[in-house]
Amino acid sequence: MPIAPNATAASLRADLVDVAVPMLVSALQDGLGTPEPQEGEPVYAAKTSRDELRLDWANSAEFLNRQVRVGGAWTTWRGKTLKIWSALPVTGSQPPGELDGPVVGTGDGQLQLVEVQAEGKSRQAAEDWLRGARPTPGDRLGS
């Protein structure tokens, strides 16, 4: 199954359900077959920590977009948590973390915020959040 370049963890999960459910039903009807022991030692993945999901605006727009697409990405705005639910990398240049409308400067390129959630608030379009946040020239995320 091809994975779209803008796929998120949630959209990928939904796509996989559509593919996997018929396969699972078929496997259960046909029988599970003979189990085979796993080769090698088991590998355990550590749980992703909250700090790993904090956006470092010195990273590239592409890297930050991947973090956002995983889910749970966040930064700070005026000392409070701001979750980033959806964003798009765009071309351009400005200092890392600096806001210009919904566009944030990164270490390489820019990230356009699409959907955000301010601390204690509901998810909303970035443009709506900006109307309430009223950033001034030079304001930065992550500080």
CA distance 128 to 110: 20
This prediction's pTM? 0.79
- pLDDT of res. 138: 85
CA distance 113 to 88: 7
Give per-residue pLDDT as tens, 39-66. Answer: 999 889 899 899 999 999 999 999 999 9
Domains and CATH numbers, the chain: 51-133 (3.10.25.10)
- Is pLDDT of 27 > 90? no
CA distance 92 to 101: 13
- Is pLDDT of 69 > 90? yes
